[in-house]
């Protein structure tokens, strides 16, 4: 089909107009893309910071609800064998998260256990040990109360193989020592809040 000169001239103007529109549109799109990308990046950074803050807060809350750590180190420097028979740290939830020290501590051995206790109010923990010396088995009962406000106290009760018991109370940051009624061994204990050190030592020391 043959076009007249006027038609060709009109088509030429249309092509130039389209090119101008395309160029302006492209510039506009590029401008929107750059601005939009900047906004997206800024929003993304803000969103990431917000997520990080929420995660940190959630983690702190979970750790708080899971409980505080109570570390108990036990050292047997005199008895034939010392064994942790039982323990209770507030409730079954905290008990389940505890990692007690090994079952048997023979003479000259030591180990450390990490227990979880209530951190929302004062915690109440109880530990029961058996101590064997010269084929005589005694028990050592430790009752410990501790809060996160640097306050705590407790009680140690030694019951020998004949059922005779001796007891002593203790507070934080002061080591106590208690000898069994039959003079077979002595318990040394120091509590500093989240750490409790237990020692089974020679009597008359």
The string of pLDDT tens digits covering residues 96-123 is 778 888 889 999 999 999 988 876 778 8
Write the DSSP assignment of 22-43 as a string of letters.
Answer: HHHHHHHHHHHHHHHHHHHHHH
Q: Give the H/E segment covering residue 154.
A: strand 151-159
Q: Are 91 and 99 in contact (CB under 8 A)?
A: no
Residue 67, pLDDT > 60, answer yes
Phi and psi at 29, nearest 5°, equal: -60, -45
What is the model's pLDDT at position 71?
93
Q: Are 135 and 101 in contact (CB under 8 A)?
A: no
If pLDDT is split at 50, 70 and 90, which confidence band does 35 have?
low
What is the model's pLDDT at position 109?
97
Q: Once rounded to an integer, what is the mean pLDDT over residues 30-52? A: 57
Tens digits of residue pLDDT in 175-197 = 999 999 999 999 999 999 889 99
Give the Cα separation of 177 and 40 in Å (integer): 66
What is the model's pLDDT at position 61?
44
């Amino acid at each position: 089909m043959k076009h007249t000169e006027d038609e060709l001239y009109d088509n030429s103007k249309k092509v130039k107009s389209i090119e101008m529109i395309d160029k302006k549109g492209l510039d506009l799109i590029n401008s929107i893309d750059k601005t939009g990308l900047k906004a997206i990046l800024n929003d993304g950074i803000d969103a990431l910071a917000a997520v990080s803050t929420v995660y940190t807060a959630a983690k702190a809350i979970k750790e708080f609800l899971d409980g505080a750590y109570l570390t108990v180190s036990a050292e047997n420097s005199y008895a034939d064998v010392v064994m942790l028979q039982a323990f209770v740290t507030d409730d079954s939830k905290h008990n389940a998260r505890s990692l007690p020290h090994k079952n048997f501590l023979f003479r000259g051995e030591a180990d450390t256990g990490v227990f979880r206790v209530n951190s929302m109010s004062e915690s109440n923990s109880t530990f029961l040990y058996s101590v064997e010396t010269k084929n005589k088995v005694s028990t050592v009962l430790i009752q410990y109360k501790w809060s996160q406000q640097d306050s705590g106290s407790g009680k140690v009760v030694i019951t020998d193989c004949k059922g005779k018991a001796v007891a002593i109370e203790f507070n934080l940051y002061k080591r106590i020592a208690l000898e069994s009624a039959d003079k077979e061994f002595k318990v040394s204990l120091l509590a500093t809040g989240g750490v409790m050190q237990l020692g089974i030592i020679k009597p008359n020391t």
